[in-house]
Amino acid sequence: MPRGEGRNRRWGLVALVMAIGVMAAMITILNSRSAVVATPETSDLAEAPEVLAAALECPTGFASRVHEPVLLVHGTLSNPAENWGWNWARSLPSLQFPTCTVALPERATGDLQKSAEYVVAAIRAMATTDGRPIDVVGHSQGGLVAQWALRWWPDLRTKVDDVVSLGAPGNGVQGLDLLLKSPVCTPACHQMLPGSVFLAALGRPDPQPSRVSYTSISSQTDQIIEPVFRREPQAGSQSEILVQAKCPGRSVGHIEMVADAAVFALAIDALVNPGPGDAGRVDPAVCSQVLAPETDVLGKLRLDVLRFLGSFGENPKTPSTEPPLAGYVTR
């Protein structure tokens, strides 16, 4: 064998060994990074990571840097399309808010503690992807679930700037056991009844400091949620805004909270300004407007028809009681 050819082969073997070594090192690094991401980012959640990931949808992406991304959390007996597809999921992107939705399990009729895990995972994923704190908007039960997530997963408090609740049942819903029987009260129904252990735990004073701003928007004409204000201040800054205090005589029902122009303006004020919302900053001219921008009323009607048709053949609910508090609540 010529000497030059032997030398070339030796160098080839050396190069191959070096390449294998580099690949092994890269695999080790990647595995260590995966372990860091999984602890505590997923290991403290009971739901499977792939299930949680599939529940988050961000159709607009994160390219826009005009505003912080917004996570929309839907209410009871609904899903992202029915709650947000015809209104805010259209309105926010038109104003250059990167917008995501999370689908809570069982149409948000199951254990709210389980639903909260979906919100936790969604917040973590969005904040990691975008690299900055996000905002959360929850309608009805969605507001409660968002507050629960931030109360018991403190790592979220560096990942969230604002939480805006629309018609959230902070002190429970009178008569909910009758409203949601169909034929029996669901786990979520039990947890939203006045005096539930869930609401009592959520209302405990939070000793940990928080930089999150909370804005609660409610309506005197809400047919389901009676406006109630917290007796104890929540960790972080907060404001509680009655729509009629800004627009006297305005009629805004529970479902209309996610389409009303005044409610939308009050929420946008909270999202774009430091701290919680301030009704005094909102232009009174909004009181002469009806719908939030880009609201698709016909789209809402189509969704209602499909929901009605889809309700035939649904399995009847089985009797339930209020789920016990998760172990982390007693810490």
Identify the pLDDT of residue 331: 59
Residue 230 has φ and ψ, to the nearest 5°, of: -65, 140
Total domains present in the chain: 1
Q: Does any domain span residue 256?
A: yes
pLDDT at position 8 over 50: no
| pLDDT tens column, 96-147 | 999 999 999 999 999 999 999 999 999 999 999 999 999 999 999 999 999 9
In three-state secondary structure terms, 50 is helix
| pLDDT tens column, 257-297 | 999 999 999 999 999 999 999 999 999 999 999 999 999 99
Dihedral of the alpha carbons of 223, 227, 214, 127, in degrees to the nearest 10: -20
Mean pLDDT of 204-215: 87
CATH number of the domain within which 273 lies: 3.40.50.1820
Identify the pLDDT of residue 40: 39
Identify the pLDDT of residue 171: 72
Identify the pLDDT of residue 158: 95
Which structural domain range is residue 57 located in? 49-320
Q: Does any domain span residue 251?
A: yes
Identify the pLDDT of residue 173: 74
> Quick one: what percent of the chain has pLDDT higher than 70?
76
Rg (CA), the chain: 24
CA gap 183, 219 in Å, rounded: 29
Q: Does any domain span residue 153?
A: yes
* pLDDT class of 35 with cuts at 50, 70, 90: very low
Identify the pLDDT of residue 206: 83
Q: Does any domain span residue 295?
A: yes
Q: Does any domain span residue 15?
A: no
User: Which amino acid belongs to residue 220?
Assistant: Q
Which residues, listed in sequence order, are joined to residue 238 by a DSSP beta bridge? 214
Q: Does any domain span residue 117?
A: yes
Q: Does any domain span residue 125?
A: yes
